[in-house]
Amino acid sequence: MESTTQIRFPYDQSIVKELPLLNKNEIEDILVTAEQLFNDQPNWIPAYKRIEILEKAAVIMNDRSEELIHIAISEGGKPYKDSKAEILRAIKGVKLAAEHISQLKGEQIPMGLTEASVNRIAFTSKEPIGVVAAVSAFNHPLNLAVHQVATAVAAGCPVIFKPSSNTPLSGIALAAILKEAGLPNGWLQIVLCDNETAELLVTDPRIHFLTFIGSAKVGWYLKSKLAAGTRCALEHGGAAPVIVESDADFTEMIPDLVKGGFYHAGQVCVSVQKVYVNQEISDRFIKQFSEAVDKLIVGNPFDKTTDVGSLITPKEVDRVEEWVNEAVAEGARLITGGKRISDTCFEPTILFDPSEGSKVSTNEIFGPVVCVYPFKNREEAIKRANALNVHFQAAVFTKNIDAALDTAKKLNATAVMINDNTAFRVDWMPFGGRDSSGLGMGGISYTIEDMTREKLTVFKSKSL
């Protein structure tokens, strides 16, 4: 009997679609197709054609943006205004991928610097790395697909894309659009399968590059199982610490932190999670922050007034509720929220000074919860912010340039935002975690470069 997966609307758990899962035998056919395309070098898609395909895909996506927004909401549960922003980003991402193709270039390597290297000219060039396996996450179903699929198309690599089983419809829609835009058969294959079959796919020696966005536990496990020679990029989560100094501008900061903490119900790898506030202003901060959070509208993500939608599954609501209750039992003061609204929604929650040992302090929450910790000494706050082994994006709010630069230097993060929230991202910037938060840097152009490899060509001639 054929196995299937049910895609449910996270808000009310109604079934949106039921799709078949591939089995291990079907994975073999997919790998054979991808390998044959890569080995057939004379028929690689030329650069000008890749540009045409991606540019046309961006036009089609723009024409169908409302349809894509609807798909993303129905499977991911992100509110309308945020899903709309995601689709606009995804369109821009496809354009960025098309533009970067013209930047895939090598350089001349000097020769004649020693007697042994005379009569030679040498240069490097970029080639596609090979077959790409892309494993994606649920929280930005279209934009993440663009970051993993459009980049592979731009690099000239056949790509096998495994979307999250919760949110595969956006990736499937992207594949249909790319095909309509002229991408030849086989260059993008969508794989819906269980975890065991996915492991079989990504660890196959015919895979040259793995791009993985998801949990650290799974990502690092898969990396340990990769075939010799397979390169990879891993993007996991963090705890997104923020340092707030006593001279911070509340007018700018409060809305920034509310957005950064509760966008997509906190289900973002760089959501504001741990805010360290100078105790001189902590009472004022708590008052203004909680007043702003209390104004957030929680509800159906299709409603254009909704600020915070549902979590991806009821199981996640159970987990967040358990963690919040544990934090309160261990001494945290509940400022606002703290309760489930339904099986699928949880109140936007602020916890004050939870124990450093509570799960909300030691793990990525991935829910609508922000923890606030008072500090006397900024050095101590930075030390606490750096204490976990996850390090991704961080932030500092201050109008003192020396304090800002000092904090940015000392925070262990791949990116530090000054007077902005930790969730800031544009798709042309480098983006990724360090230490256990990931490996390599994403961002459209960075990923395309990752999916290429260099070749050195050396001419020897008496005429040189």
- 235 belongs to the catalytic site: yes
Contact 57, 94 (CB under 8 A): yes
Torsion of CA 235, 237, 241, 242, to 10 degrees: 70
Does 269 participate in catalysis according to the annotation? yes
Q: Beta-carbon neighbour count of residue 42 at 10 Å?
A: 4
Rounded to whole angstroms, the Cα distance separating 162 from 136 reads 6
Residue with tokens 């610097």: 113
Which residue of the set 157, 193, 232, 269 is catalytic? 269
Packing angle of the helix pair 282-294, 250-262 (nearest 10 deg): 50
Tokens of 444: 């459209």
Whether the CA torsion 352, 358, 363, 368 is positive or negative: it is negative
21 vs 18: CA distance, rounded Å = 10
Distant-in-sequence, close-in-space partners of 61: CB < 8 Å, separation ≥ 6 = 68, 87, 90, 91, 94, 174, 177
Q: What is the C-alpha to C-alpha distance for residues 210 and 447, in angstroms, rounded to an integer? A: 11
Which residue in the list 35, 75, 86, 235 is annotated as catalytic? 235
CA atoms of 392 and 234, how far apart (whole Å): 12
DSSP string, 154-190: HHT--EEEE--TTS-HHHHHHHHHHHHTTPPTTSEEE
Catalytic site residues? 235, 269
